[in-house]
Amino acid sequence: MVMQLLGRSQDLTLAIEQLTQPVVAQQATLGGSSSSTSSANLLASQQLLDAAREHEGQANDKVTAAKTKQDAAVKTEADKKAAYDKLNAQQNPPPDPKDIESARSTWVQAQLDSARAKQAATDAQAAATDAKKNREAIEKSNGNAQTSASANAASSAVLSAPITLRPPPSDESMKAIATAVDNIVKTVVKNDHSG
List the domain boundaries for the chain: 25-162
Residue 173 reports pLDDT greater than 70? yes
pLDDT in tens, 112-169: 999 999 999 999 999 999 999 998 988 887 776 566 555 555 666 666 655 555 666 7
Average pLDDT over the chain, rounded to an integer: 79
DSSP string covering 102-117, please?
Answer: HHHHHHHHHHHHHHHH
Cα–Cα distances in Å, from 2 out to 14, 153, 184, 185, 195?
A: 18, 51, 17, 15, 12
Could you confirm whether domain 25-162 is CATH 1.10.287?
yes
pLDDT in tens, 107-122: 999 999 999 999 999 9
pLDDT band (50, 70, 90) for residue 37: low
Query: What's the average model confidence in pLDDT over 5-26?
Result: 64
